[in-house]
Structure 1
Amino acid sequence: MKKLYELVSELGLENTITLDDIPNIDLYMDQVTQLFENKYNEAKRNEDEKILTKTMINNYAKAKLLFPIKNKKYSKEHLILISLIYQLKGALSISDVKVVLDRLNYKIEHEQLNLSELYVSHLELHDKSIENFKANINVISSDVNQEIDKKEDEDIEYLESLLLISSLINTSNMYRRLAERLVDEMKEEPNKN
Structure 2
Amino acid sequence: MADIKKLTEDLALEKTILLEDIPKIDLYIDQVIQLFETSFEETKRTGAEKILTKTMINNYAKGKLFYPVQNKKYSRNHIMLIHLIYQMKSVLSINDVKQVLDGLNERAEKEQLNLESFYESYLHIQQGSIASFKEGLGRQAELAEKEGAAIEDPNELEQVLLIASLVHTSNLYKRAAEKLVDDLVERRKSR
Same fold, TM exceeding 0.5? yes
Deviation string for 1:21-58 (max 9, x for gaps)? Answer: 00110000000000000000000000111000000000
- Post-superposition shift, 1:141? 0.9
Q: TM-score by structure 2 length? A: 0.97
- Post-superposition shift, 1:150? 2.5
* Higher alpha-carbon deviation: 111-120 or 183-192: 183-192
Give me the whole-angstrom Cα distance separating, in 1, the residues matched to 2:150 and 2:158: 11
Partner of 1:125: 125
Partner of 2:177: 179
- Post-superposition shift, 1:190? 2.6
Partner of 1:17: 17
Structure 2: state its 5+ residue gaps: none
Partner letter of residue 184 of structure 1? Answer: D
Deviation string for 1:60-86 (max 9, x for gaps)? Answer: 000000100100000000000000001
Contact 1:103 1:192 survives alignment (8 Å): no
Give me the whole-angstrom Cα distance separating, in 2, the residues matched to 1:28 and 1:7: 35
Q: TM-score by structure 1 length? A: 0.96
Partner letter of residue 66 of structure 1? Answer: F
Identity of aligned residues (%): 52
Partner of 1:143: 143
- Post-superposition shift, 1:4? 2.1
Partner of 2:5: 5
Give me the whole-angstrom Cα distance separating, in 2, the residues matched to 1:130 and 1:140: 15
Structure 1: state its 5+ residue gaps: none
Q: Which runs of 4+ in 1 moved over 6 A?
A: none
Partner letter of residue 179 of structure 1? Answer: A
Partner of 2:116: 116
